[in-house]
């Protein structure tokens, strides 16, 4: 079976790129699969994650101006070339199935080219973010949402990451396939380090500014603990976060560590994972934390964490209740037996997301598409 994945790029660290590397490598390891990845703006950069030598890459060199809207004239002028190059690439490859990974321009035209080829669209974000705009849309947004709903109905399958998301889709072609575990270490954290960890893209949606406020509360009583934040992102936002950390005098206990290619090692040397996102879909990083035996304290944001965390393996805190978050965090810090109990249960919980289990769902879906 020949599978073509379509994504904008794979040189920047991110959840979509990471999950793609896992799926693509898995299929490339199978004798009866041939894997291709089409990018639109790789810019001659090496992939940030490891990809099998068996995978064939092709970059279309569209290179949209990412700092501008896709509707900006300078980007709209690139659209005809993008459509033409994508159409030619798919025609040349003659794939059995095409999978659109990132939510960029190609999402909106790929269902309409080479219609006999089954096409799948993955969603790695929560449509909760569209809820308010869909209730009171302007004329442009109303037309745009109508078009996106139509486009989504033309895909053979829409892959969503949790069951709560299905209510946001107008079409009936959704299927839930969660993210697979990226690793399942033989050993787990001993939960003896006075270190709390979080990781992810440094962006407003992750709520790191709120986490700093929470840690200020924690630090007043737990001065022998540290919080390490791993990830990179907008330099201006990173600067604002560091300024806030310095303003609170937390620079010795709350550290922005930047990106790492070995988050597993950092998790194994930590004792608690935290998440303060405004919204999530199915955060891969929570699975990784549980695989390392870490209990998690997270806001109960829409909608990912509640599909992974329960009272036996972590703590879900009402959204934006900073005091409750800080109190739950300090409670775990000081109740070592409870910390170990939740860590053990976290490790057991994550076993249902093993690579073989999740990729079996993908294989079954691909095979069913070929039978249509």
d(CA 312, CA 298) in angstroms, rounded, equals 14
Angle formed at CA 77 by CA 72 and CA 83, multiple of 5 degrees: 115
Query: How confident is the model over 364-369, as a mean pLDDT?
Result: 96
The crossing angle, in degrees rounded to 10, of helices 322-334 and 336-349 is 100
Tell me: the pLDDT tens digits for 50-62?
999 999 999 999 9
Closest CA to 30 of 49, 68, 3: 3
Residue 213: CB atoms within 10 A of its CB come to 15
d(CA 302, CA 300): 7
Q: Give, as one character, the DSSP assignment of residue 97.
A: E
> Measured at the alpha carbon of residue 327, what is the angle toward residues 257 and 254, in degrees to the nearest 5?
15
CA nearest to 228, candidates 191, 263, 257: 257
Q: Tokens 């079954």 map to which residue?
A: 364
pLDDT digits (tens, 9 = 90+) for 123-145: 988 888 888 889 888 898 899 99
Distance of CA 77 to CAs 62, 70, 73, Å? 10, 10, 6
3-state class of 12 per DSSP? coil
CA distances from 43 to 8, 309, 318 (A): 10, 39, 42
pLDDT in tens, 214-255: 999 999 999 999 999 999 998 999 999 999 999 999 999 999
pLDDT digits (tens, 9 = 90+) for 146-188: 999 999 999 999 999 998 898 899 999 999 999 998 889 999 9
């Amino acid at each position: 079976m020949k599978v073509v994945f379509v994504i904008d790029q794979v040189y920047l660290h991110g959840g979509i790129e990471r999950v793609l590397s896992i799926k693509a490598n898995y299929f490339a390891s199978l004798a009866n699969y041939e894997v291709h990845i089409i990018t639109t703006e790789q810019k001659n950069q090496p992939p940030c994650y490891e990809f099998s030598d068996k995978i064939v890459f092709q970059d279309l060199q569209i290179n949209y101006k990412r700092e501008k809207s896709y509707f900006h004239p300078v980007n709209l002028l690139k659209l005809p070339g993008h459509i033409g190059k994508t159409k030619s690439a798919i025609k040349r490859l003659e794939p059995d199935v095409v999978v659109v990974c990132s939510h960029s321009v190609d999402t909106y035209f790929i269902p309409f080219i080479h219609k006999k080829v089954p096409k799948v669209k993955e969603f790695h974000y929560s449509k909760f973010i569209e809820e308010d705009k869909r209730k009171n849309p302007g004329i442009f947004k109303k037309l745009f949402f109508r078009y996106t709903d139509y486009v989504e109905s033309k895909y053979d399958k829409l892959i969503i990451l949790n069951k709560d998301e299905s209510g946001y889709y107008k079409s009936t072609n959704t299927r839930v396939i969660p993210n697979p575990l990226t690793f399942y270490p033989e050993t787990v954290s001993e939960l003896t380090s006075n270190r709390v960890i979080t990781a992810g893209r440094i962006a407003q949606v992750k709520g790191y500014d709120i986490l700093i406020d929470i840690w200020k509360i924690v630090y007043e009583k737990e001065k022998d603990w540290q919080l390490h934040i791993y990830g990179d992102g907008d330099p201006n936002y990173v600067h604002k976060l560091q300024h806030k950390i310095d303003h609170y005098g937390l620079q010795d206990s709350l550290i922005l560590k930047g990106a790492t290619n070995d988050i597993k090692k950092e998790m194994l040397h930590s004792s608690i994972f935290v998440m303060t996102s405004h919204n999530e879909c199915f955060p891969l990083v929570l699975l990784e934390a549980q695989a390392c035996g870490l209990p998690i304290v997270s806001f109960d944001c829409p909608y990912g964490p509640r599909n992974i965390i329960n009272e036996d393996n972590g703590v879900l805190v009402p959204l934006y209740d900073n005091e409750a978050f800080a109190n739950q965090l300090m409670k775990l810090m000081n109740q070592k037996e409870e910390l170990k109990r939740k860590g053990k249960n976290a490790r057991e919980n994550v076993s249902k997301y093993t690579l073989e289990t999740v990729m079996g769902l993908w294989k079954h879906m691909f095979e069913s598409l070929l039978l249509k």
